């Protein structure tokens, strides 16, 4: 079996078509699909703890359902898939999960949540520098 394929989204990124494209790449390569959803501090840092815990539980459920539906849609329900939901800094969580699953690349679901007048290319370049990963916006 091929390696894990890591797909990451945060802050509302990761449309269904990008999840599907990433899952299809994993299936075609004979690898497993790992969906990392990050509840980022930049957007959710001031949310009350109890509310945030509920949000994370709901996000986990939604991403698992979405992943299962996508695998059926691409006719690849046998492809191993996993959902990981983390809270924190996008770069730190991405770097940690990539190390845990043993990958040096990741697909980033678009459209990206852009802040501070940055372009998508600048966000990707900054994350690559911070994480040491090769990232591709999908």
pLDDT digits (tens, 9 = 90+) for 53-73: 999 999 999 999 999 999 999
Inside any domain, residue 61: yes
Q: What is the CATH number of the domain that holds 64?
A: 3.40.50.620
Number of H helices, E strands in the chain: 5, 5
Q: How confident is the model at residue 8 (pLDDT cuts 50, 70, 90)?
A: very high
Q: What is the mean pLDDT of the chain?
A: 93
Whether the Cβ atoms of residue 19 and residue 66 lie closer than 8 Å to each other: yes
Inside any domain, residue 106: yes
Q: How confident is the model at residue 1 (pLDDT cuts 50, 70, 90)?
A: very low
pLDDT score recorded for residue 82: 96
**For 102-119, how does the pLDDT look when each residue is reduced to its tens digit (9 = 90+)?**
999 999 998 887 777 789
- What's the domain count of the chain? 1
Range of the domain at 87: 33-119+133-138
Instruction: Map 27-58 to HEC letters.
Output: HHHCCEEEEEEEEEHHHHCCCCHHHHHHHHHH
Q: Is pLDDT of 128 > 90?
A: yes
Tell me the C-alpha distance between 137 and 117, whole Å: 18
Whether the Cβ atoms of residue 22 and residue 5 lie closer than 8 Å to each other: yes
């Amino acid at each position: 079996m091929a390696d894990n394929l890591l797909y990451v989204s945060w802050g509302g990124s990761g449309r269904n078509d990008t999840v599907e494209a990433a899952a299809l790449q994993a299936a075609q390569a004979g690898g497993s699909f790992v969906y990392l959803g990050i509840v980022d501090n930049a957007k959710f840092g001031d949310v009350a703890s109890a509310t945030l815990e509920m949000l994370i539980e709901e996000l986990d459920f939604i991403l698992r359902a979405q992943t299962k539906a996508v695998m059926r849609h691409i006719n690849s329900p046998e492809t191993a898939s996993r959902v990981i939901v983390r809270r924190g800094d996008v770069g730190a969580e991405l770097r940690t999960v990539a190390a845990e699953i043993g990958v040096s690349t990741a697909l980033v679901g678009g459209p990206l949540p852009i802040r501070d007048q940055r372009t998508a290319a600048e966000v990707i370049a900054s994350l690559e520098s911070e994480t040491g990963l090769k990232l591709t916006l999908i």
